[in-house]
Amino acid sequence: MVQNRAVLGSPESRRLRRQGFVPGVLYGREQPVAITIRERDLRAALSGESGANAVMDVIVDDGAAHASVLKDYQRDPVRGRISHVDLQEVRLDRPIRATVPVHLVGEAPGTKAGGVLTQALVEITVEALPLDVPAMVEFDVGGLNIGESAQLGQIALPDGVMLIDDPETTLASVTQPTRVEEPEEAAAEGEEPAGEGEAPAAEAPAEPEAAAGDRTTGE
């Protein structure tokens, strides 16, 4: 259950976090309402089938249920826990805009031929009724060969879900791998042929043979 937060300020927020609560704000009413929600309840709501696009029934102290979605959140950089949350009250009969992750599935023929698959975008913006917003969408890269790309407009979206982003935006592509020049090759190509740059070094003179009188015999 979500509760109204009567006391504001950083010290109060730290106290709430130590007790297992997440401070936040509920938007969409006449005035934003400062709230607190138990961390385990928030985590359970956002880890369900709808993920971060889950519609939550937020019940504040007035006893009324307010359908709400996650608007924004902050994480503790050390512990990784959600440290603050913003919820947006919505009407279930009116479409909203939401961000949805895109997962690539399948294996591109171009990668089998030595190409490199690159995903240019990892999420898209869609518009749908709150309960119709998917947790994520998939795109099969099984038809991408080297030199080919896929656009956002090729993503198959569920009924009632409309893409807001430019459909011509590149989602993924398969390119020829870049040839990395070995240092030895680069050094060899950078050497100047003899005679064009500087004169070749003169050979060292041969040591003179010892005189006949200086030779020692074993006799």
Residues 72 and 10 occupy one common structural domain? yes
13: domain CATH number is 2.40.240.10
Q: Which of 90, 115, 144 is the last residue of a domain?
A: 90
pLDDT at 153: 97
Query: How does pLDDT run along the chain (219 residues), one tens digit per residue?
Result: 565 555 566 676 777 777 778 888 889 867 888 888 888 888 888 887 888 899 988 877 667 788 999 999 888 788 778 888 899 999 999 999 999 999 999 999 999 999 999 999 999 999 999 999 999 999 999 999 999 999 999 999 999 999 999 999 999 999 998 766 666 655 555 555 555 445 455 454 455 444 444 444 444
Alpha-carbon distance of 30 to 62, in angstroms, equals 15
Alpha-carbon distance of 196 to 74, in angstroms, equals 65
Residues 32 and 56 occupy one common structural domain? yes
In a domain, 115, yes or no: yes
- Quote the DSSP letter at residue 55: -
pTM (predicted TM-score): 0.70
In a domain, 197, yes or no: no
pLDDT at 103: 97
Other beta carbons within 10 angstroms of residue 86's beta carbon come to 16
In a domain, 8, yes or no: yes
Alpha-carbon distance of 26 to 69, in angstroms, equals 10
In a domain, 162, yes or no: yes
Tell me the residue range of the domain where 25 lies.
3-90
Long-range contacts formed by 8-13: CB under 8 A, 24+ apart: 8/34, 13/84
134: domain CATH number is 2.170.120.20
**What's the per-residue H, E or C state across the chain?**
CCEECCCCCHHHHHHHHHCCEEEEEEECCCCCEEEEEEHHHHHHHHCCCCHHHCCEEEECCCCCEEEEEEEEEEECCCCCCEEEEEEEECCCCCCEEEEEEEEEECCCHHHHCCCEEEECCCEEEEEECHHHCCCCEEEECCCCCCCCEEEHHHCCCCCCCEECCCCCCEEEEEECCCCCCCHHHHHHHHCCCCCCCCCCCCCCCCCCCCCHHHCCCCC
Residues 24 and 72 occupy one common structural domain? yes
Residues 84 and 101 occupy one common structural domain? no
pLDDT at 29: 66
Residues 104 and 125 occupy one common structural domain? yes
Residues 18 and 81 occupy one common structural domain? yes
In a domain, 182, yes or no: no
In a domain, 59, yes or no: yes
In a domain, 209, yes or no: no
Residues 101 and 83 occupy one common structural domain? no
Number of domains in the chain: 2
Residues 147 and 127 occupy one common structural domain? yes
Residues 101 and 81 occupy one common structural domain? no
pLDDT at 7: 52
Q: Which of 30, 65, 90 is the last residue of a domain?
A: 90
Alpha-carbon distance of 138 to 105, in angstroms, equals 7
Angle among Cα 205, 208, 214 to the nearest 5 degrees reads 160
Residues 40 and 108 occupy one common structural domain? no
Residues 135 and 152 occupy one common structural domain? yes
In a domain, 187, yes or no: no
pLDDT at 187: 55
Residues 85 and 126 occupy one common structural domain? no
pLDDT at 185: 56
Q: Which of 90, 107, 138 is the last residue of a domain?
A: 90
Angle among Cα 132, 61, 129 to the nearest 5 degrees reads 10
What is the DSSP code string of 134-165? -S-EEEE-TT--TT-EEEGGGS-PPTT-EE-S
